[in-house]
Amino acid sequence: MNRRVVVTGLGLVTPLGTGVEKTWKGLCEGKSGVAPITRFDTEDFRVKIAAEVKDFNAEDFMDRKLAKRSDLFVQYAIAAADQALSDSGFKITDQNSARVGVITGCGLGGLPTIEKYHKVFLDRGPKKITPFFIPMVIPNMNAGVVSIHIRARGPNLTLTTACAAGSHAVGEAFQSIRRSDCDVAVAGGSESVICPLAVGGFGAMKALSTRNNEPEKASRPFDKDRDGFVIAEGAGMLILEELEHALNRGAKIYAEMAGYGLSGDGYHITSPPEDGEGAVRCMRAALDCAGAEPDNVDYINAHGTSTQVNDICETRAVKTVFGEHAYKLAVSSTKSMTGHMLGGAGGIETVFTALAIHTETIPPTANLENPGPECDLDYVPNMARKAKIRMAMSNTFGFGGTNASLLLKRYEG
């Protein structure tokens, strides 16, 4: 049916703060959420830094009982969803709940809980494993528990497509509303795996920055001295709504969802092809979905992980898709301040993209001092920029060669 879809509510839990206002302010000021890890002893680890959420209180959003039986990635999802619903002003009732979906992304689920109860099992035996263990760790519980918490009975789905999961979730929610599977959707992603196994595992791959002595400068996308990404945690949720439904209740509209593209590299489990061919097809698919031309796009919120391979390949892909217009685009990586929130990144960065359009402010790429080879686009270095944005793209690419691109545009009636 191709119904029009708009963004009417936003919610965030990030290393820059709990809440949209706190995070967006810090982001536009170029603040870093990266610091030494506090969750566990890092003495034996090469990597000693991460972007942890520092101000979160679960009981601000749920009762103690629910918090106790929910892994952090679920707690963060509930908090971001509650914020987004409150921001939207939309009320879920018995009459409309079957038309409200919850579609989320997550990469690794309850890995810290798996670590915890594996130790309990080894030390104290199987009888000491909590009956909530399985529901705490399975990745779809950010959608499942959120839907129960807010009483949403429409489409319920979790995508576990690695670092592209949050964007895939927003894209699938967009398509669900377009084809009238639902009228409203809570969509986004969450992740919380700052734990020994994850830090050790990504560290063993040499994927993480080891700039332990300067945590706030460790995430430096497109800079020649980048040495890996910084693992992070958080959640970002949006309320997507069919346009007439939103207008009929007088909703505030941040932006309109315009297009969604997805593709697979079919190349390597962790590295993109050198020419970024999968990302090229993904971005073009989003443009085709929106019926847009490359020169309609003014801003790209880049995947921009701060790894040697990603930043070059993404830059090459942007140049292929946008041609000469690539040099007129603003491109920034907000991971330079938030770190990489894995399966939560796409939801959070879609919120940032909507805010960039709504506030006419492009967040910077922090720590970009000397651009690396081939990294010669306008990456909005170190300072936010005021700009009227007609259309913006958000890219996320995941291990396994899974890609997602979202297009949002200024709502003009």
Question: Which residue among the candidates 28, 303, 358, 375 is catalytic per the annotation?
Answer: 303
Rounded CA separation 361/26 (Å): 13
Judge whether 163 counts as a catalytic residue: yes
CA distance 53 to 252: 28
Burial (0-12, 13-18, 19+ Cβ within 10 Å), 297:
buried
Written as one letter, the residue type at 187 is A
The H-assigned helical ranges of 89-235 are 111-124, 133-137, 141-150, 165-178, 196-204
From residue 412, give the alpha-carbon distance in Å to each of 246, 289, 391. Answer: 14, 19, 12
| Cβ partners under 8 Å of residue 302, min gap 6 | 221, 314, 318, 331, 332, 333, 379, 395
Report, in angstroms and rounded to the nearest whole number, the Rg of the chain calculated over CA atoms.
20
Active site residue 340: yes
Angle at 110 between CA 108 and CA 116, to 5 degrees: 125
d(CA 5, CA 43): 49
Cβ neighbours of residue 166 closer than 8 Å, sequence gap 6 or more: 104, 105, 188, 189, 190, 236, 343, 344, 345, 346, 347, 348, 349, 350, 396
CA distances, 378 to each of 159, 224, 328, 329 (Å): 32, 15, 7, 7
Nearest to 259 by CA among 81, 9, 2: 2
Which candidate in 182, 340, 358, 375 is catalytic? 340
Alpha helices in 249-297 (DSSP H): 277-290
Facing residues of 235 across strands? 13, 190
CA distance 402 to 302: 15
Q: Quick count: other Cβ atoms within 10 Å of Cβ 225?
A: 12
Catalytic residue among 163, 182, 289, 313: 163
DSSP strand pairing (5-14 vs 234-242): antiparallel
> DSSP characters for 201-237?
HHHHTT-B---TT-GGGS--TTBTT---B-BB-EEEE
**CA-based end-to-end distance of the chain:** 19
- Residues recognised as catalytic: 163, 303, 340
